[in-house]
């Protein structure tokens, strides 16, 4: 019982470092260059341009703060909730692009269909969601 | 342990099955030479479900890729294949084409088949154009010809169609690296030349490659 | 504090730096529409360049013969060896080259533009929206 308790705490810590660290880094990278992020969001053709701009200004900060708050006792669960939501939304958007992207005629419209650069992020996000799931179980 | 996250996670996983048709190799990669002019890829699949599946639409991303099917309806357990043909059309480099398959069983979740081709021209001419401006000094310019590692191509000769712009071929590394030195004799007015580069590749049908000079 | 309350607080806290980003960040995206990929240009901009433009049609011979931008030259990869020298005869350094294709041409305009640039020819632009954009504007 003592061992599994320690093990649970260690696993929880490692998962928090991975998830939190990733979100902090990802947030910082996008905070640094919101214009590029806005263009990338626009490529998915899910949101009007102005919403992409607002999201590019706002979302990176949510990512960054959520990553940080994962290490703060009094905000840990809220941060995890946000991280889970963000991951789910990103993954669904990626899947949508993967499926729809090829129905758009390729060519001069500048919409390159989703390349294999979409399958990898989707798999990665699914793994991250699994990690988030692990953390959730600690709150039962 | 039934948390919302796990349920969401599971549902995301099940979203990735493509109706009932299970494809052997939805993504196929090829390496090719430009003279092959096209690639044919066969995408085999099997109906792994309990109901008959009808393929309603097979759509390619554009005109250079075509896809063909022998029949549209597949009984449970039956297998079939989609034959995709990609015509190079002079393209080179890494190409990626897609075929979207929509079935009666999962209209809103079409399958995406990918065809990746790396078209490598073993002979690279860099640059293909040498340019002088009128009034410039008639200094010689060089064109490099490089052959890929896995091939050996002999440049047999280079000829210029304009006697006032000369082309001289030199062998840097036989079968691997060549150099053409272009020397214009007079830059007082606009001029141009086409260089015919005769090679021994491919052996069945040796190509003539081209380079150009312009005085503008 | 319940997790939802915590999440809302984080979301609210993020609004402040986000607002600052939107106002003063040197790399903030502009609110006006129309993002252009590198090398692309809008039809409106291109038309304003007037006669400085050398139009290049990267579609098939058949499409070109049916209809093309007046004054444009056909240049595609399929017949590159016969078309490129003709292009070179018409081109002079300093002209703005604008390449277009259609949605059926599989990104050919980008490939032709890349090959022109490889040969030291510039500036080369790809028309955003391609032939369809031109037709729509007529």
Where do the domains of chain B lie? 19-119, 123-215
Say whether pLDDT at B3 is over 80: no
A interface test, pick of C10, C57, C108, C124 with most A CB neighbours within 10 Å? C10
Q: How far is A29 from chain C (nearest CA, A)?
A: 12
Interface ipTM > 0.90: no
Say whether pLDDT at B191 is over 80: yes
Give the mean pLDDT of B146-163.
Answer: 90
Please answer yes or no on whether C77 and B133 come within 8 Å at the CB atom.
no
The partner residue sitting opposite A79, judged by closest CB among C10, C30, C102, is: C10
Say whether pLDDT at A65 is over 50: yes
Backbone angles phi, psi at B108, to 5 degrees: -90, 0
Two structure tokens written together for B146: 């490089």
* pLDDT 10s digits, C66-85: 999 999 999 999 899 999 99
Q: Any idea where the domains of chain A sit in the sequence?
A: 2-137
The answer to whether residue C5 neighbours chain A at the CB level (below 8 Å) is: yes
Q: Any idea where the domains of chain C sit in the sequence?
A: 40-137
Q: 3.40.50.2300, 3.30.1360.10, 2.60.40.10, 3.40.50.300: which CATH number matches B123-215?
A: 2.60.40.10
Say whether pLDDT at C60 is over 60: yes
Give the residue carrying structure tokens 């009666």: B104
> Quick one: pLDDT at residue A48?
80
What is the pLDDT of chain A when averaged over all its residues?
Answer: 76
The answer to whether residue A25 neighbours chain C at the CB level (below 8 Å) is: no
What CATH superfamily classification does C40-137 receive?
A: Rhodanese-like domain (3.40.250.10)
Distance, in Å, from the CA atom of B122 to the CA atom of B143, rounded to the nearest integer, reads: 16
Reported confidence tier of residue A97, pLDDT bands at 50, 70, 90: low
Could you tell me the CA-to-CA distances from A58 to B97, C15, C20 in Å, in that order? 35, 7, 10
Please answer yes or no on whether C6 and A107 come within 8 Å at the CB atom.
no
Could you tell me the CA-to-CA distances from A20 to A63, A66, A138, B163, B213 in Å, in that order? 9, 7, 16, 70, 58
Q: Are A124 and A94 in contact (CB under 8 A)?
A: no
* pLDDT 10s digits, C83-124: 999 999 999 998 999 999 887 666 788 889 999 999 999 899
Distance, in Å, from the CA atom of C123 to the CA atom of C94, rounded to the nearest integer, reads: 7
Backbone angles phi, psi at A9, to 5 degrees: -70, -40
The answer to whether residue C50 neighbours chain B at the CB level (below 8 Å) is: no
B interface test, pick of C119, C120, C122 with most B CB neighbours within 10 Å? C119
Give the mean pLDDT of B96-100.
Answer: 86
- C-alpha dihedral sign at A105, A110, A112, A114: negative
Q: What is the DSSP letter of B7?
A: H
Fold match, B19-119 / B123-215 = yes
CATH number belonging to domain B19-119: 2.60.40.10
The partner residue sitting opposite A129, judged by closest CB among B5, B16, B114, is: B5
Distance, in Å, from the CA atom of B187 to the CA atom of B135, rounded to the nearest integer, reads: 6
Reported confidence tier of residue A140, pLDDT bands at 50, 70, 90: low
Distance, in Å, from the CA atom of A128 to the CA atom of B154, rounded to the nearest integer, reads: 54
> Quick one: pLDDT at residue B8?
44
> Quick one: pLDDT at residue A121?
67
The answer to whether residue A128 neighbours chain C at the CB level (below 8 Å) is: no
What is the pLDDT of chain C when averaged over all its residues?
Answer: 88
Distance, in Å, from the CA atom of A71 to the CA atom of B61, rounded to the nearest integer, reads: 46
């Amino acid at each position: 019982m003592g061992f599994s308790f320690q093990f649970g705490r260690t696993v929880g810590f490692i998962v928090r470092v991975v998830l939190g660290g990733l979100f902090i880094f990802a947030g910082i990278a996008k905070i640094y260059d919101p214009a590029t992020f806005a263009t990338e969001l626009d490529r998915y053709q899910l949101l009007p341009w102005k919403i992409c701009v607002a999201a590019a200004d706002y979302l990176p900060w949510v990512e960054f703060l959520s990553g940080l708050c994962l290490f703060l006792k009094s905000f840990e669960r809220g941060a995890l909730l946000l991280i889970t939501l963000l991951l789910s939304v990103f993954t669904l958007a990626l899947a949508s692009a993967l499926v729809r992207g090829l129905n758009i005629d390729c060519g001069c419209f500048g919409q390159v269909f989703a390349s294999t650069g979409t399958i990898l992020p989707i798999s990665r996000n699914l793994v991250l969601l699994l990690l988030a799931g692990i953390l959730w179980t600690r709150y039962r | 342990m039934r948390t919302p996250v796990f349920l969401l996670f599971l549902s995301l996983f099940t979203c990735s099955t493509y109706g009932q048709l299970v494809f052997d190799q939805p993504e196929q990669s090829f390496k090719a030479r430009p003279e092959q002019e096209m690639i044919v890829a066969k995408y085999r699949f099997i109906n792994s479900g309990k109901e008959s599946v009808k393929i309603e639409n097979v759509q390619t991303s554009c005109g250079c890729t075509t896809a063909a099917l022998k029949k549209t309806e597949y009984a449970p357990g039956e297998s079939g294949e989609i034959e995709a043909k990609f015509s190079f059309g002079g393209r080179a480099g890494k190409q990626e084409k897609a075929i979207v398959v929509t079935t009666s069983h999962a209209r809103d979740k079409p399958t995406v088949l990918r065809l990746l081709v790396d078209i490598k021209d073993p002979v690279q001419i860099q640059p293909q154009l040498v340019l002088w401006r009128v009034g410039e000094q008639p200094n010689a310019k060089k064109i490099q010809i490089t052959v890929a590692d896995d091939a050996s191509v002999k440049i047999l000769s280079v000829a210029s169609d304009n006697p006032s712009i000369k082309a001289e071929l030199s062998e840097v590394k036989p079968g691997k690296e060549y150099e053409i030195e272009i020397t214009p004799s007079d830059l007082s007015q606009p001029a141009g030349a086409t260089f015919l580069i005769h090679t021994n590749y491919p052996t069945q049908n040796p190509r003539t490659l081209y380079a150009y000079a312009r005085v503008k | 504090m319940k997790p939802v309350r915590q999440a809302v607080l984080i979301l609210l806290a993020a609004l402040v730096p986000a607002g600052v980003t939107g106002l003063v960040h040197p790399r903030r995206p502009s609110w006006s529409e129309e993002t252009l990929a590198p090398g692309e240009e809008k039809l409106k901009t291109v038309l304003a360049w007037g006669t400085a433009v050398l139009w290049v049609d990267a579609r098939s011979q058949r499409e070109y013969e049916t209809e093309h931008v007046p004054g444009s030259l056909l240049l595609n990869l399929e017949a590159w060896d016969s078309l490129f020298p003709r292009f070179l005869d018409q081109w002079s350094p300093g002209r703005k080259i604008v390449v277009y294709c259609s949605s059926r041409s599989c990104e050919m305009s980008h490939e032709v533009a890349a090959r022109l640039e490889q040969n030291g020819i510039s500036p080369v632009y790809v028309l955003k929206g391609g032939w369809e954009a031109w037709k729509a504007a007529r």
